[in-house]
Amino acid sequence: MHDRLFEAALIITAPWSVTGAQFDEAAKVPTVAIDFAVGSHFAVEGVLGEHSVHDTVTKTYRHLNFFQHEAYCRCARRG
């Protein structure tokens, strides 16, 4: 249920999805894990067509505050 809530709040649509969320109570920081479906194809700027993913690199991005908490998204990115 939490994953769907974060997908709605962050406007995440297929082939992307929220795969988990953690809240560090000591630091008061939520981190949302975002990934894409296996077999997805993506457009590449300046290249015609859609392309399969061969490699990914997980990166963490600072998001706007979620409620009053500093928030981060950890996302699998095409490498």
For 3-26, b/e burial (b = at least 16 CB within 10 A) is beebbeebebeeebbbeebeeeee
Count how many domains the chain has: 1
Helical residues (DSSP H) of 1-79, grouped into ranges: 2-10
Which pLDDT band, with edges at 50, 70 and 90, does 1 fall under?
low
Residues 55-65: tens digit of each pLDDT: 788 888 888 77
Which pLDDT band, with edges at 50, 70 and 90, does 79 fall under?
very low
Euclidean distance between CA atoms 5 and 57, whole angstroms: 25
pLDDT at 60: 87
Residue 45 in domain: no
Q: Is residue 77 scored above 80 in pLDDT?
A: no
Boundaries of domain holding 22: 2-40+50-78
